[in-house]
Structure 1
């Protein structure tokens, strides 16, 4: 079994690549992908994403504002209200991206701090995006006591020191199809060095399709290729990587959901 711990189902091409979300879910199921987390990036798009995934019991959601979307319409009240939905198992995608939008750095910090405070308040884990902002990302997580809610550094491309600092805060490290890319030599070494106990796998679809699908639109079914590559790097069986990363997903996201439902 496998889990796609981070994708954007509302961003996939349903006009030509897939006939609809049901086909995407079926393709994933055929590859033994049992659970999927569809990640929100703006508040305006959140209701449509929820309408899209609502019929599928094995698809969960997160709610948040991506650091590259911090200038989109925002209301803290809406963020709290949307995050209270029982299908929402995480807060984010949130974080900092100084690579593409350094000019919004100050607003990114404010929004990130608001997401951390919400996650701690309602005890739902964080989904973190970080790029060229290692110091500030860790500083905000620490000052906001993010260790109380935990979370994941998604689509990890940082160094081993950053990974260890995130682990010290109780965070998981999520590996995407980037690990299969020829130029991702540092990431491959990080994956080798980290214990399987702290890893998740993801597609970030429709982006970053792994080899051998690179150049195509990504989809949840392709998360198996990520697991397979990690297995090769670490000298493990594919089933071991699938089972352990699936357990990690359930421990991080669904343990809380089950406690809420009781």
Structure 2
């Protein structure tokens, strides 16, 4: 049986309120591990509260770029406390920059991105990065912050092969979600083909970005297999090879002991 690892799924999301427990029990029949990143203090608390309930569920805490306009030093301290509260908190995230929606001003986003990178280094945790239409600033901040402690995941990657190569040099893994399966995502497919398998992760970003053949439905972590199948098709290797290597990669970057 395939032992899948969904490296990014928001299982606390309101869309799961009516059936979260049955959904997750069902997911863990085919998926070994799920990492649930957060968006703010409230969702970080929700994530941490869910962790003891499911052996295969791990979490990340942090303030999403959309939420940085409301961020405070007290909020950051609470994120730090939550990160230390449970060994199953394995990253700071999701953090980064979003210049597509601009729900928070650019300069505010940058300040809180850097503050959370510094927190992750302090706690020796990887970071989960959200980068939407902000490739230049994301990369320059990561380059500025580069150190042996800086490492993490480029979630739902949408940049170029060239940028991915530079990010991998800085210690980052490149993660692909449902969009790589979309028929029209030819550029993204080319990028996925070019990323070495030992630096690649797969994710769903549930409940969003549902891959075909379930487009239009609510996404869930079991659909990560469709991402694995597409990566295997693009690289012309077996699905089992993709599943095994991406699982090992995720266990390594998140420092999860099997």
| TM tier relative to shorter chain | over 0.9
Instruction: After superposing the two structures, state which structure 1 stretch, 157-166 or 102-111, moved more.
Output: 102-111
The normalised TM-score by structure 2 is 0.93
Matches within 5 A, 1:143-158: 143-145=144-146, 147-158=148-159
TM-score (norm 1): 0.92
Among 52, 55, 61, which residue is 1:54 paired with?
52
Give 5+ residue unaligned stretches, structure 2. Answer: none
Gaps of 5+ in 1: none
Deviation beyond 6 Å, 4+ runs, structure 1:
none
Structure 1 pair 57–102 and aligned structure 2 pair: CA distance change class (3 A): closer
**Cα distance in 2 for residues equivalent to 1:177 and 1:80:** 31
Select 1:10's aligned residue among 9, 12, 21.
12
In structure 2, how many angstroms separate the alpha carbons of the residues matched to 1:129 and 1:40? 11
Q: Separation in 2 of the partners of 1:146 and 1:62? A: 21
1:82 aligns with 2:82: yes
Does the 8 Å CA contact 2:69/2:104 hold for their aligned counterparts? Answer: no
Task: Give me the whole-angstrom Cα distance separating, in 2, the residues matched to 1:147 and 1:232.
Answer: 34
Alpha-carbon distance between aligned partners in 1 of 2:148 and 2:163, rounded to the nearest angstrom: 15
Look up the match of 1:253.
254
The question of whether the paired residues in 2 share the 8 Å contact of 1:116 and 1:146 is answered with no
CA apart distance, 1:165: 1.2
Q: Which moved more, 1:142-151 or 1:113-122?
A: 142-151
Question: Aligned pair in 2 of structure 1 residues 54, 4: CA closer, same or farther (>3 Å)?
Answer: same
Q: Is the 8 A contact 1:163 1:173 kept in 2?
A: yes
Calculate the aligned-residue CA RMSD, in Å: 1.5
For residues 118 and 112 of structure 2, the distance between their equivalents in structure 1, rounded to whole angstroms, comes to 10
Q: Deviations over 1:126-148 (max 9, x none)?
A: 00010111111111112122552
* Closer, same or farther: CA 46–161 of 1 in aligned 2, 3 Å: same
Separation in 2, partners of 1:252, 1:238: 21
Q: C-alpha separation between the residues in 2 aligned to 1:119 and 1:50?
A: 17
In the TM superposition, what is the alpha-carbon distance from 1:44 to its structure 2 partner? Answer: 2.1
Q: Report how many residues are paired.
A: 252
CA deviation vs aligned residue, 1:109-161 (integer Å, no higher than 9, x gap): 00000111011111100000101111111111121225523101000111111
